[in-house]
Amino acid sequence: MSKPASLLVCAAVALSGASAAQAAEGYPWRQHEAPYDFKFGNEIDTHQQTRQARDGSLNGFFYVRFTGMTTKDRYPVATHVDCNAHTDCSVGWTLSGKPASGQFLYHAMHDHPVFLVGRSDIPQPGSYAHFHWLGQLMQPNTPMDTKGYLLQLQAVDRFCFVHHDAEMSMPATGKTCRENGGVAVEPGIDIATHLNIVTSTMTGM
């Protein structure tokens, strides 16, 4: 194959890969229809669709619903909802996950439960900052080991993510995303919106 022809083939492959990625970013909500049929067995299943690979790892999509409101600093407001009850959910992040164990520590109201994860158990390379458990999370008075996945999120859009009470983020108040209790999200790796792990080299796990 001549050099110009090989360059054309490489360019076509690169473009097809980019198109595939763009198509994936817009993957519609299909109520866990195969192949994105993995379920955690808790509330996250109302706004995630992932598939499980043979090695146990996950890849898929994390959904939001845009409220139609915009903050003072011009971020569209988005939040998690039950996508089975809404027809206008869209992909906020792509996600990848690795099997892991975390030790449940505490759960503050209107925030994610916090887990202790062994430093050497955090996958590398990557930005695996959210531990999500399997099944219903028991919340005893003492820490307990829990099976789940460490998730890495990559935002596909620009928005202000408000985890709870997003409808109260009225643009008429003239508040920024931060002032509305939100996190400003830009396309790319995101560890801020769902960060819920602490770590130590001495976890006891």
- In tens, the pLDDT along 59-108 reads 999 999 999 999 999 999 999 999 999 999 999 999 999 999 999 998 87
Confidence of residue 9 (pLDDT cuts 50, 70, 90): very low
Q: Comparing 68 with 25, which gets the higher pLDDT?
A: 68
pLDDT at 28 over 70: yes
How many Å apart are CA 147 and CA 121, to the nearest integer? 13
Predicted local confidence at residue 139, as pLDDT:
67
Looking up tokens 């976890």, which residue turns up? 203
Predicted local confidence at residue 203, as pLDDT:
53
Predicted local confidence at residue 77, as pLDDT:
94
Confidence of residue 4 (pLDDT cuts 50, 70, 90): very low
Q: Which residues have CB under 8 Å from 191's CB, separation 6+? A: 127, 129, 153
Predicted local confidence at residue 164, as pLDDT:
72
Tokens of 106: 């505490």
Tokens of 171: 């643009």
pLDDT at 8 over 50: no
Predicted local confidence at residue 5, as pLDDT:
47
Predicted local confidence at residue 19, as pLDDT:
37
pLDDT at 55 over 80: yes
% pLDDT > 70, the chain: 79
Q: Is the pTM of this model over 0.85?
A: no
Confidence of residue 160 (pLDDT cuts 50, 70, 90): very high
Residue 46 per-residue DSSP state? G
Residue 75 per-residue DSSP state? P
pLDDT at 145 over 70: yes
- Contact (CB, 8 A) for 170 and 104: no
What is the full DSSP assignment across 49-105?
EEEE-TTS-EEEEEEEEEEEEE-TTSPEEEE---TTS-S--EEEEEEEEEEEEEEEE
Averaged pLDDT score across all residues of the chain? 84
